[in-house]
Structure 1
Amino acid sequence: MFKLNLKIALRNLWKNRGITAINVGGLAIALAAFILVTMYFTYETSFDKSNPNYENIYVVGRIYPEFKTNYTSPPFAKAIKQNFPEVELAGITKGGFFELVIKKDKNTVFAKNFMQADYNAAKILNLKPNNGLEKPAGDVEGLSYLSSENMKALFPNKKDNKPEMVGIGASNSGITSRIDGGIKKDLHSNIIFDGISIRNELGKGENYGYNNYTTYIQVKPGADIGNLEQKITNLYRAELLKGETDKKTIEEIKNVSTFLDPLSNLHLRPKAGNDAPYKILIALSVLGTLILVIACINFTNLSIAQATKRAKEVGVKKVMGAYRFQLTSQFLVEIFMQCFSATILALILAELILPNFNNLFQLNLSIWHIDNPLFWQLPLVLLSITLIAGIYPAMVLSGFKPSLVLKGNFSTSKQSSWLRNGLLVFQFSVAVIFIIGLFIINSQLKYMRSQDLGFTANQVVYIKNIMLFNKPEVFEPVRERFLKIPGVKLATVATDVPNGAENGSNGYTTNGLQANIDFVDVDFDYFETLDIKLKDGRFFSSSFKTDTANAAVINESAVAKYGLKNPVGKTIRGCNIDYKIVGVAKDFKAQGFESAIQPTIYAIKNPCGNYKTQIMLKIEENKMADALIALKAQWPEINPKDGEDFRYEFLDELYGKLFKKQEQLQSVFFAAALLTIFIAVLGLFAFAKYITNGRIKEIAVRKILGASDVQIFKLINRSFFIMVIVANLISWPVAYILTKKWLETFAYRIDLPLLPFVSSALITITLTVITVSIQAKKAVKANPVDALKYE
């Protein structure tokens, strides 16, 4: 019996190979997209899961009325461990400020992030050097490790785990350091570093004002996190209130709280950060699922449409004693064969597309590795789509009544017709949502690229450097050397460049109001180099000696924050300095379009600030190449610590990376829109063929009675036209809500336009009319005699 059913299945599939090809091809394309999205989802949601204590690790952050931050001070971790028994370990880490150049003989590596961690943090984060995690012997000296990749580059022939001495910076700098070994860097982790220094204690002697560390805690399994979070907040407030007598400061401290952010949150939706990656991942997952769903709908629709061709077979089998369960099983096996073929084809397509997918998302995903969960997920997906796409058609086919079908009544029920039409409407509704989404993403990206940023990144070169230029007199001779190079118009140095990174923040008081605002420590010509516009007053100038002592420039957002009127000349106090406001800079989008411009103060002197290491040069466009060649040649003399290692990036390219996620989303929506339209039109093509073939005799009679070709075309297109209009009306409100939610993730965005909604309707209607008309043409042009000669 099975052999007979198999022969019948193969014969039917071959006989209807056009429909079979559409079914298998459409399903394979959708499955390939689903496979890629599933792999990406699995990758993005499994960061740090190799850590055995993954479920019990939290980052401790601070909440102020104006902002949240993961940065805390060194004493806080120790206080948490001492006061709360449910905390097993507490440790801190600190990121590197600059890119370290490390040399051994003729080999050089660049460590972009040489992280520091105390011993407890290393245990919490499961950091394992190749020779095992050791506790440093002293309180000051730590153990330094390079990533395994960097160790191999520096010591290609090294066989042992003995420490090595290396040079730091230029070959003739004379600066050396000890590397105690290599450490495997987990590429699938939020703890990113090229090298790491592990010490017994970090931040020794620093108080609660030094908030530039990250605190990690490991709690005991089953700990009440909500209760612990409140207790840590109370502890933090108590620590800040020690020795404090000022009533206003005491009230402000009462508004400060803390939070615990699970390690699982850090990659996609940190509490003190942007959750755009999480939203994009969810959007991609929904897209992949919807594409697969509409492919299954296509399958179901075409299978139901083909039902009449199997009616006599079902009738005969039932008369011969076949049970409905047997018939259902037979048809499900046929559907499984098609789904299995589609799955094999999908794996081939996914393998072909994967290099482009990896390039788009800057990943290194692979289908064929033993740990890939796809190998157990795919059989489940195959079984699911077989049931989803096949159970209803199998029930319809097996449900024909022999007494009717053997008399020639092969029509499916009105219920089936409504289902087919409803599924087709759903397909086009999804396609319309994708089209609208694509148009709106394109509009937002166009807006972002064309908007005035408030500063000019073009022709600004950012030079990487390890020298510290906190004092203007140290940078001045360097600036003079820069300006002697033809084409270099301006030179400056600062703690930060406008590339989307967060600035430091601190408490400043003016106009009777104390608030935490961002600070950027700069040098002369900072605003001029970036072409930032002046709103009021003046920028820093070497003509005013006090500018290096207590002058400050604030931006428009800071003026609004403090409610200042005529701010120039007023005093703002922070870091134990009374700054005189000499100017107001116009706001500029240093953090991109997703974050609102932060109130910011700029000063040349800031005892509580970071190191000024970020050099920026404004170079004439037509002299850029020559200027860079000259800079590289003169760099050992200009900056002896960096010597021969001249490294630079263009600021406009750095800033352009802020658009990367949205450009990825644009590419994905473009592919999704094409796929959904293709699958929907594929289904429509086959469905229109079925409907047209079923009305051949009706069309012949109408032509004999005088109907024109145009009238016949209108007759066939009318029902499909109505379905597409209904699909648009259903999808517009959904698309409006979804795109509005997406746009709300941007602080600076377009108004929701009407054109994408109209365009989606025109596109889907045009495609429908063309697709249906192609099928209808054959029926319209046929000779009526051929259709009616046997009547």
Structure 2
Amino acid sequence: MFKLNLKIALRNLWKNRGITSINVGGLAIALAAFILVMMYATYETTFDKENPNYDNIYVVGITYPEFKTYYTAAPFAKAIKQNFLEVESVGLIKESSFELTIKNGKKTLFTGKILAADYNAAKILNIQPKGGLVQPSGDVERLTYLSDKSMKTLFPSKKDNKPEMVGFGASNSGITGTIAGSIKNNLHSNFVFDGVSIGNELGNGDNYDMNNYTICLQLKSGTDVINLEQKITDLYQAELLKSKKGKRNDEIKGISAFLDPLSNLHLRPKAGNDTPYKILIALSVLGILILVIACINFTNLSIAQATKRAKEVGIKKVMGAFRLQLTTQFLVEIFMQCFVAIILALILAELILPSFNNLFQVQLTIWDLENKLFWQLPLILLVITIIAGIYPALVLSGFKPALVLKGNFSTSKQSYWLRNGLLVFQFSIAVVFIISLFTINSQLKYMQSQDVGFKTNQVVYIKNLTLFNKPAKMGSVNFEPVREKMLKIPGIQSATVATYIPGGTNGINSYSANGVKANIDFVNVEFDYFETLNIKLKEGRFFSNTFKTDTVNSAVVNETAAAKYGMKNPIGQTITGSGIEYKIVGVIKDFKSQGFEIAVQPTIYTINDPHGDYKTQIMVKIEENRMAEALAALKSQWLQINPKDGEDFRYEFLDELYGKLFKKQEQLQSVFFAAAILTIFIAILGLFAFAKYITNGRIKEIAVRKILGANDLQIFKLINKTFFVMVLVANLISWPLAYILTKKWLETFAYRVDMPILPFTLSALITILLTIVTVTIQARKAVKANPVDALKYE
């Protein structure tokens, strides 16, 4: 019996190969997209899951009135360990703030991510060097390991894992050290590094003014995290009161601690940006909706084919076939189509994967057991067979033999409304995608065309190891001689150095002015910082060599900072922070240093900050027509210009670095573009086949109308009318949903376009036009046919 049903299934599929191809092709395209989305979702939601302590690891964060951060003071780690029995282990980590050069003879390695960790943190985070994790001896020793890739760069022919001597910094620095071995860099982790430096303890001698470490906790199983969070907050407030005697109790009460699980850090950090999570949710919803549309196509076309199978069902029932047997037969046919669709989908996904990996900066592969496709695909095959096939199978197997064999069969009103409803649903989803795409495009155009308040073009960011500060901190040097040498090179208009560059995060510190105390952003700069970036002055002046006090206690603030402290006439007023009373000499106009998603933060700029970070970020403004010449001169003269940095000259263009802030939104634009194209394509495929079925069912009606005098245009209007109404209804249904979704997305931007009307109008025009063209092409054959051919047997 099974063999017979299989033969019948194959014959039917071949006989209706046009509809079969549309069914299988549309489903394969949707499945390919869904497979890629599943792989990406699996990858994004499994960061650090290889860690055996995954469920019990938390990071300690601090909440201030203005912001949240994972950076805290090293002594707090010891305090937590000493006070809470539910904490099994406490570790400290610190990421490097600048690029480090490591040399082995003529071979040079530039490391941007050296992770410093104490021994406990290495155990908590499952950091495993080759040969196992070894505890350093004493408090001073540091065991440094480099990733496998980094070790191959420095020691390409190395076969063993023995320690190696290397040089740090420039060739003339004279600083050497030992690399203890290699370590696997787990790219599927929140803690990615070029190398790891492990010590017994970190932060010895630090106090509660130095918030530059991250505390990792491993809790005992069953710990009440919410209760522990409150106890850690109480402890932190008590420690602050002891360490900062001048601090008022009400100020301390505004500060609290929180625990963020390891599972949150990649997608939904409490002290960070959850844009990756939103993109993952959007991508997952898109993948599911595209697959649903394809399943709707399948269901719609299968029901539309019902009349062709009616007599077959009638004869089988007369011959004694049960409904369950017929249902099974039809489900087998549908299963075969779905199976072929999955094979084609895997081929398509493999072809698209390189572009997908490039867009999302990942390295996914289909043929990897870790992506879980080996069990997900069979489950998907079963689910789509049931979703796409169960209703058509029940409809087909439920025909009454007496009626169909008399020729009185017609599909029920329920099937008619279901087909039309599913078609409306398909186009509703397509319209939402089209509107979303146009809205995203509008916001991106706005972001790319708006004046951000400073200019990054012609500015080169030079990577540098030398620490610059004025007045000089311990181990730092004066930037002025370096600046003077650079300005002698033809084409260089200005040069400066700062603690941070636009596009990244700034430092945060507490400042008081005008009776108000608040945590605000700070940037430590040198002369010509504002001129190099072409930042506009609102009132007062920039820093200048002609004013000796500028290197001692002068400050420039932005408009938002002046407003924060309620300063109507800020020039000449005092703002106190880092133990210095700064005199405000200038107010700059607000500029979007952190992009469009975050509102401009109140910021203070100073030359002298004893508690600030080192100035390492060199920026040079170069004449456009002399860019290549100036960069070549800088490279050849760098050892003489900046001796402590050495012969290694590296640079990036600042506009490219700032442009990375738009990367996630550009990804979203690409995703919605692909989704809109796919949904429209799949919907049009279904519409094409459905229009063919409807047209074929009305051939005799069309013939009679033509004989009675109807022209081609009238008949085209007649056939298009039903589909036109359905697409119009789809637009009306989808507009409110699209409005809500796109409005919520736009609200994630501090600076955004007003809700545009054009996308709604364009979505209607595009879908109606595509519908009319598709139906007209399909109906043309029936309209142009000779009426005699359709009526000759009547």
How does the TM-score come out when normalised to structure 2?
0.98
SS in 1 for 2:552: helix
SS in 1 for 2:24: helix
Preserved contact between residue 290 and residue 675 of structure 2 (Cα < 8 Å): yes
Q: Which residue of 2 aligns with 1:126?
A: 126
1:180 aligns with 2:183: no
1:153 aligns with 2:157: no
Q: How does 1:387-536 map to 2 (within 5 A)?
A: 387-471=386-470, 474-499=478-503, 501-536=504-539
- Within 2, Cα distance between the matches of 1:531 and 1:232? 45
Distance apart, 1:372 and its partner CA: 2.9
SS in 2 for 1:268: coil
How many residues are aligned here? 789
- Within 2, Cα distance between the matches of 1:35 and 1:60? 36
Distance apart, 1:245 and its partner CA: 5.3
Distance apart, 1:163 and its partner CA: 1.8
Residue type of the partner of 2:307? T
- Within 1, Cα distance between the matches of 2:560 and 2:73? 27
Preserved contact between residue 146 and residue 195 of structure 1 (Cα < 8 Å): yes
Preserved contact between residue 572 and residue 579 of structure 1 (Cα < 8 Å): yes
1:786 aligns with 2:789: yes
Q: How does 1:238-637 map to 2 (within 5 A)?
A: 238-242=238-242, 246=246, 249-471=248-470, 474-499=478-503, 501-637=504-640
Preserved contact between residue 43 and residue 371 of structure 2 (Cα < 8 Å): no
Residue type of the partner of 1:271? K
Distance apart, 1:199 and its partner CA: 1.2
- Within 1, Cα distance between the matches of 2:129 and 2:788? 86
Preserved contact between residue 619 and residue 627 of structure 1 (Cα < 8 Å): yes
CA deviations on 1:133-168 (whole Å, 9 max, x unpaired) are 111112123111111111121112223332211011
1:685 aligns with 2:688: yes
- Within 2, Cα distance between the matches of 1:785 and 1:141? 98
Q: Which residue of 2 aligns with 1:210?
A: 210
- Within 1, Cα distance between the matches of 2:419 and 2:123? 59
SS in 2 for 1:180: strand
Distance apart, 1:371 and its partner CA: 2.8
Q: Which residue of 1 aligns with 2:665?
A: 662
SS in 2 for 1:486: coil
Distance apart, 1:631 and its partner CA: 0.3
Q: Which residue of 1 aligns with 2:675?
A: 672
Preserved contact between residue 276 and residue 745 of structure 1 (Cα < 8 Å): no
Distance apart, 1:172 and its partner CA: 2.6
- Within 2, Cα distance between the matches of 1:785 and 1:720? 27
- Within 2, Cα distance between the matches of 1:259 and 1:123? 22
Preserved contact between residue 460 and residue 651 of structure 2 (Cα < 8 Å): yes
Q: Which residue of 1 aligns with 2:756?
A: 753
- Within 2, Cα distance between the matches of 1:444 and 1:397? 49
Residue type of the partner of 1:102? I
Distance apart, 1:82 and its partner CA: 0.8
SS in 2 for 1:702: helix
- Within 1, Cα distance between the matches of 2:730 and 2:127? 54
- Within 1, Cα distance between the matches of 2:243 and 2:65? 23
SS in 1 for 2:260: strand
Preserved contact between residue 64 and residue 255 of structure 2 (Cα < 8 Å): yes
- Structure 2's unaligned 5+ residue stretches are 472-476
SS in 2 for 1:135: coil
- Within 2, Cα distance between the matches of 1:244 and 1:520? 24
- Within 1, Cα distance between the matches of 2:709 and 2:750? 63
- Within 2, Cα distance between the matches of 1:147 and 1:625? 34
SS in 2 for 1:139: coil
- Within 1, Cα distance between the matches of 2:251 and 2:668? 41
Superposed CA RMSD in Å reads 1.0
- Within 1, Cα distance between the matches of 2:184 and 2:196? 11
SS in 2 for 1:212: strand
CA deviations on 1:90-149 (whole Å, 9 max, x unpaired) are 111111121111111221111111121111111111111112211111212311111111
- Within 2, Cα distance between the matches of 1:596 and 1:62? 21
CA deviations on 1:269-297 (whole Å, 9 max, x unpaired) are 10011101100000000001100000000
Distance apart, 1:697 and its partner CA: 0.8
Distance apart, 1:244 and its partner CA: 5.0
SS in 1 for 2:640: helix
CA deviations on 1:348-368 (whole Å, 9 max, x unpaired) are 111111111111111111001
Distance apart, 1:171 and its partner CA: 2.0
Higher mean C-alpha displacement, 130-139 vs 713-722: 130-139
Higher mean C-alpha displacement, 135-144 vs 476-485: 135-144
Identity score, percent: 77
Q: How does 1:629-778 map to 2 (within 5 A)?
A: 629-778=632-781
Preserved contact between residue 208 and residue 243 of structure 2 (Cα < 8 Å): no
- Within 2, Cα distance between the matches of 1:116 and 1:540? 36
- Within 1, Cα distance between the matches of 2:660 and 2:284? 23
SS in 2 for 1:474: coil
- Within 2, Cα distance between the matches of 1:375 and 1:242? 57
SS in 2 for 1:546: helix
- Within 2, Cα distance between the matches of 1:71 and 1:283? 31
Preserved contact between residue 425 and residue 727 of structure 1 (Cα < 8 Å): yes
- Within 2, Cα distance between the matches of 1:194 and 1:245? 41
- Within 1, Cα distance between the matches of 2:128 and 2:79? 26
- Within 2, Cα distance between the matches of 1:403 and 1:203? 88
Residue type of the partner of 2:4? L
Preserved contact between residue 74 and residue 92 of structure 2 (Cα < 8 Å): yes
Q: Which residue of 1 aligns with 2:474?
A: none
- Structure 1's unaligned 5+ residue stretches are none
Distance apart, 1:243 and its partner CA: 5.8
Higher mean C-alpha displacement, 436-445 vs 111-120: 111-120
CA deviations on 1:15-73 (whole Å, 9 max, x unpaired) are 10000000000000000000001000101111111111111111111111111111111
CA deviations on 1:638-660 (whole Å, 9 max, x unpaired) are 12233221000000000011111
Preserved contact between residue 260 and residue 270 of structure 2 (Cα < 8 Å): yes
- Within 2, Cα distance between the matches of 1:531 and 1:372? 48
Q: Which residue of 2 aligns with 1:196?
A: 196
Preserved contact between residue 173 and residue 640 of structure 1 (Cα < 8 Å): no
- Within 2, Cα distance between the matches of 1:580 and 1:757? 53
Distance apart, 1:169 and its partner CA: 1.9
Preserved contact between residue 139 and residue 200 of structure 1 (Cα < 8 Å): yes
Q: Which residue of 2 aligns with 1:39?
A: 39
How does the TM-score come out when normalised to structure 1?
0.99
Residue type of the partner of 2:425? F
Higher mean C-alpha displacement, 300-309 vs 592-601: 592-601
Residue type of the partner of 1:440? T
Residue type of the partner of 1:698? E
Higher mean C-alpha displacement, 504-513 vs 156-165: 156-165
Preserved contact between residue 559 and residue 589 of structure 2 (Cα < 8 Å): yes
- Within 2, Cα distance between the matches of 1:447 and 1:244? 46
Residue type of the partner of 1:444? Q
Higher mean C-alpha displacement, 711-720 vs 162-171: 162-171
Distance apart, 1:265 and its partner CA: 0.7
- Within 1, Cα distance between the matches of 2:558 and 2:674? 42
SS in 1 for 2:211: coil
Distance apart, 1:228 and its partner CA: 0.6
SS in 2 for 1:726: helix
Distance apart, 1:636 and its partner CA: 1.0
Residue type of the partner of 2:713? V
